[in-house]
Structure 1
């Protein structure tokens, strides 16, 4: 008997995943501002419970079962919202969304502990952090296009405030730039979404996926939907908000920003654009594939010359997310499997990077300038070890989560666009070069500043978060089928639909 059959029926598992953080945010709102420790504990508890339910749903999912309307969607919950307009509260999960729901839970779980040192306006910080998580959870499980848009917008405002209030370098500029870019993407997305509703008569994405829109319609409206989400994924030429936002954001927000929020953009492009308009995808994606090379190679090259530790990771994220968008543009099953795997692998890896750079290093040395660092391996060996683990995954080394993701992507892209794959492969040695460069400059050699010998030791919260993320990087690298088997069941119907409609 599969685990899903042993779970009590009638419990809204997916809704609980986002309702619990929402409840936690409401409880924190009514606490006196002096009770900072209680706020931290409540945030940690609700993040843990939410993550636990996400894991339960993940392992209870049956890849072989047929779910909602003949799809692989399981744990489906539906409640009429505005039936006159075809809107409903409709959530569900399949092999694509489940790993990303777990990723979001993992990053907020570890990010809450990383945020333990926050002292300024603690109440507002944790309320906004939990609201951000609610929005991201909702996007990953929404099966109603309008509901997805609502959750998408819910994630934007908390991000703006978190960066603008608790950020560091040029925080107001970073927050405003991020918001303007995402609002432009939202406007494009709204145009495409309304057009789909007018022609399709519903916002139910499962129903819409079983209809065939005219070729002309798909050619016109695929692009605004895809680009609307691709802005959030940091795709060239809409990528410049991303490194600025990464650098300006507080550590836990950087972890969510690069680790999860950018995946939200790629997920939306896959779920709402490729799934619903496969013919439009075939028309536009070859050109988009060429554009993603700017992400992959240019992002890695710019990371190579950065002197700010956080900017290196920021441009690294642009490069790695370029691989995700390139895989989506390749439109074959192998590449799409790699795209979702890369979303998960990069999410964990970059969360670990920002935990090291933003919290363990910057909060103690008060500098991110690589020429001012050096010898940190001698004073914070734990930070060095987990940084190396994240670095190996970034380079795509076997035994880490990044290897299977990149290997699968390049295999799929090579089948579709051999020349594009060859150019994109230039990012592999460049990535190795910048990762080794920053590792050497920050951690190797002699301790440059004698004050570094007196740095406070890492807290248990920091070590706990770093250990959990590092274990996931290695665990998924050694046993990739834990994730890949699920992903394949979600990707296969989308890839098959693109093949079936190829000649229409």
Structure 2
């Protein structure tokens, strides 16, 4: 079943390649790409339905030796000798929800770009289908070296997407910043993986989890992995690439960056640092908490002063991901489960806000400068209601998944360090400040003289926003839909520690 999840987007890409760039051909490309992503979403939902939450080991495990020649070459080039890499895949409850989020957000990203008018339509949709496969591979890989390969493989494709389909002349600098920051940050992770292979003789997840690594060795390995994940999260001082990448990337790129790409680091913290290097994780907990608090405060105050709508939402993502990091390293069940819930909730709400400000408003006004936009409630009442609801969800109001995730994360870190938790709780006030401030400036006030009369949202845009709102509220009211299957895997993670 996992093989189907990986192959179907590739099959859709192969179908798109020979198609012509005529107007009829472009329309067919869009329909085929969206249909492919929806099929993958249905398969992932069936995977969720068949998943047994009462056991802790990996399920739907598959070992694929069909790419032995390629893996032999890859292993040899990375200095692993004559070994070859088995393409070993499987899911547990932790990886399952990130797979579900990836298939869902990819479908939303493609639907948001349905009106794309470009001579490179084929390249656009092929890129996003390949990105879907690569992200799922990262979440289901059961080999550390394979995880690294797929973790990094999204970089060149996103680089191309930002350069070709991005906005503004500054998109080249943004693309290079994104590529170089994340590539350079991941090099220490590669060194750590090679070191683990020299210690243990394997990069297989299960073998690593059964092996004993001394505390001194864990410290060096932990720092190598942490740098890579901190850049991808991002945490201070590696923040600069994210607002630029968001502001200059196309709408679908921003949706994917906020919804799933940032979650690769969240998954890496859980799967590698907490699972394989528990002693070093405990040793470096004060450092992580300090960096997360600095990131939260810095990003929150930076968000308040932004004048570009997409850049503002990007900085708010940094603040929310800092709370996720605090929950992950709380070393208790409420904190880790809350961090996963907040990561999933952020994967719904942040793409919705990007659709609002970088899609609906930008397409109608031609600007993202907040000073030129106001009085939208007079033009677009239905949109204003949905925008207001998502703004409240971004602040973490009750009945939203973000509220539960944020509260559980803060409760978890409070059990470990009440002072850090008290400082982190200011995120509730700060997120309310910048979110409501943004909504108030855009929606109310005198009608802007720079804007023509604007049309309210159409059916496609309404369906997009409702599709993101329903799971946010549903899981916020019934969180046990997720938590009941998470308990066993997270408890096993803490027990192994």
* Aligned equivalent of 2:78: none
Conservation of the 8 A alpha-carbon contact between 1:86 and 1:202: no
Task: Find the counterpart in structure 2 of residue 46 from structure 1.
Answer: 36
1:178 aligned onto 2:178? yes
The corresponding residue for 1:266 is: 266
Partner of 1:391: 391
8 A contact 2:295–2:322 mirrored in 1: yes
Query: What is the CA-CA distance between 1:89 and the residue it aligns to?
Result: 0.8
> Where does 1:446-461 land on structure 2 (aligned, <5 Å)?
446-449=446-449, 451-453=451-453, 455-461=454-460
Alpha-carbon contact 1:330-1:413 (below 8 Å) kept: yes
Q: Deviations over 1:84-118 (max 9, x none)?
A: 52621111111111111111111111111100111
Partner of 1:32: 20
Residue aligning to 2:310? 310
Per mean C-alpha deviation after superposition, the further-off stretch among 291-300 and 375-384 is: 375-384
**Contact 1:390/1:473 (8 A) holds in 2:** no
Give 3-state SS (helix, strand or coil) of 2:284's partner: helix
Task: Give how far 1:381 is off.
Answer: 2.6
Q: Name the SS for the 2:63 alignment partner.
A: strand
- TM-score after normalising by structure 1: 0.92
- Does structure 1 residue 18 correspond to structure 2 residue 6? yes
1:64 aligned counterpart, secondary structure: coil
Counterparts of 2:379 and 2:487, CA distance in 1: 44
C-alpha separation in 2, matches of 1:450 and 1:181:
38
2:46 to 47, 56, 64: 56
Do 1:135 and 1:153's aligned partners in 2 also have CA atoms closer than 8 Å? no
Q: For the residues of structure 1 that align with 2:282 and 2:202, how far apart are their CA atoms?
A: 24
Aligned to 2:86: 88
What SS is found at the alignment partner of 1:117? coil
- Specify the alignment match of 1:6 in structure 2: none
Once residues 335 and 455 of structure 2 are traced to their aligned partners in structure 1, the CA distance between those partners, rounded to angstroms, is 45
Structure 1 position 450, deviation (Å): 6.6
* Counterpart for residue 109 of structure 1: 107
Q: Name the CA distance, whole Å, in 2 between partners of 1:313 and 1:47.
A: 26
2:424 matched to which residue of 1?
Answer: 424
Match of 1:79 among 64, 73, 88: 64
Instruction: Give the Cα–Cα distance (whole angstroms) in 1 for the partners of residues 257 and 151 of structure 2.
Output: 13
Q: Distance in 1 between matches of 2:236 and 2:48?
A: 33
* Count of aligned positions: 480
Question: Quick one: distance in 1 between partners of 2:284 and 2:84?
Answer: 29
Mean Cα deviation higher: 409-418 or 265-274: 265-274
> Following TM superposition, by how much is the alpha carbon of 1:201 offset from its aligned partner in structure 2, in angstroms?
1.3
Taking the aligned partners of 2:294 and 2:493, their CA distance within structure 1 comes to: 26
Measured against aligned partners, the alpha-carbon deviations of 1:125-169 in whole angstroms (never above 9, x if no partner) come to 111111112111111111111111221122111111111111114
- My pick for the range that moved more, 378-387 or 141-150, is 378-387
| SS of alignment partner, residue 457 of structure 2 | coil
**78-87 vs 41-50, greater mean Cα deviation:** 78-87
The alpha-carbon deviation at position 406 of structure 1 amounts to 0.4
Name structure 1 gaps, 5 residues minimum: 1-12, 66-70, 499-504
Query: In the aligned structure 2, how far is the partner of 1:383 from the partner of 1:194?
Result: 51
Q: Specify the alignment match of 2:222 in structure 1.
A: 222
Segments of 5+ residues of structure 2 without an aligned counterpart are: 73-81
What per-residue deviation string (whole Å, max 9, x for no partner) do you get for residues 171-229 of structure 1? 11111100011101221110111111111211211221122211111011111012212
Query: Is the 1:286–1:329 contact (alpha carbons within 8 Å) kept by the matching residues of 2?
Result: no
The equivalent of 1:97 in structure 2 is 95
Contact 1:297 1:319 in 2 (8 A): yes
Matches within 5 A, 1:79-228: 79-80=64-65, 81=68, 82=71, 84-85=82-83, 87-120=85-118, 121-169=120-168, 170-228=170-228
Deviation at residue 59 of structure 1 after TM alignment: 2.1
